[in-house]
Amino acid sequence: MEACVLRFEIFYIMRWTLKPKPSEEKIKELASALGVNKIIATLLLQRGIETFEEAKAFFRPSLDELHDPYLMKDMDKAVERIEKAIAHKENILVYGDYDVDGTTSVALLSSYLKTFYPNVATYIPDRYNEGYGVSYQGIDFAEDNGFSLIIALDCGVKAIDKVAYASEKGIDFIICDHHRPGPELPKAVAVLDPKRDDCPYPFKELCGCGVGFKLAQALAANRGQTITDLLLYLDLVATAIGADIVPITGENRILAHYGLKVINGNPRVGFQAILQQVKKQQLTITDVVFLIAPRINAAGRMKHGNHAVTLLVETDIEKAVTWAAEIEQFNTDRRDADKRITEEALVQISENEEQERLTTVVYDQNWHKGVIGIVASRLTETYYRPTLVFTKSGEKLAASARSVKGFDVYNALESCSEHIEQFGGHKYAAGLTLFENDYEKFKEAFERVVSESIDRRLLQPEITIDLEIDLRDITPKFYRILRQFAPFGPGNMTPVFMTQGLKDVGYGKCVGDDKTHLRLVMTQGNSSQFTAIGFGLGQKHDIACTGQLFKAAYVVDENEWQGNVSLQLRLKDIKP
Please write the tens of the pLDDT for every residue from 427-479.
Answer: 888 999 999 999 999 999 999 999 999 999 999 999 999 999 999 999 999 99
Cα–Cα nearest to 420, from 429, 432, 404: 432
Cα(359)–Cα(305) distance, integer angstroms: 31
Report, as an integer, the average pLDDT of 529-552.
Answer: 92
Please write the tens of the pLDDT for every residue from 360-400.
Answer: 999 999 999 889 999 999 999 889 999 999 999 888 999 99
> Residue 22: pLDDT above 60?
yes
> Residue 3: pLDDT above 60?
no
Q: What is the pTM of this model?
A: 0.88
What is the pLDDT at residue 387?
96
Question: What residues does 551 pair with on adjacent strands?
Answer: 575
Distances (CA, A) of 392 to 366, 374, 560: 7, 16, 46
The CB density around residue 111, as the number of other CB atoms within 10 Å, is: 21
> Residue 8: pLDDT above 60?
no
Q: Which domains does the chain have, with CATH numbers?
A: 15-19+463-575 (2.40.50.460), 69-326 (3.90.1640.30), 352-459 (3.10.310.30)
Please write the tens of the pLDDT for every residue from 104-144.
Answer: 999 999 999 999 999 999 999 988 788 778 999 999 999 99
**Confidence label for 1 from pLDDT (cuts 50, 70 and 90):** very low
What is the pLDDT at residue 105?
97
> Residue 253: pLDDT above 90?
yes
The CB density around residue 270, as the number of other CB atoms within 10 Å, is: 28
The CB density around residue 316, as the number of other CB atoms within 10 Å, is: 10
Report, as an integer, the average pLDDT of 61-84.
Answer: 97
**Cβ pair 233, 105 in contact under 8 A:** no
Write out the DSSP string of 259-305: HHHHHHHS--HHHHHHHHHHT--S--HHHIIIIIHHHHHHIIIII-T
The β-bridge relationship of strands 387-393 and 422-425 is unpaired
Question: Under 8 Å CB-to-CB from 309, ≥6 apart: which residues?
Answer: 96, 103, 106, 107, 110, 122, 124
Please write the tens of the pLDDT for every residue from 168-223.
Answer: 999 999 999 999 898 999 999 999 999 999 999 999 999 999 999 999 999 999 99
Question: Under 8 Å CB-to-CB from 371, ≥6 apart: which residues?
Answer: 301, 334, 337, 338, 341
Please write the tens of the pLDDT for every residue from 307-330.
Answer: 899 999 999 999 999 999 999 898
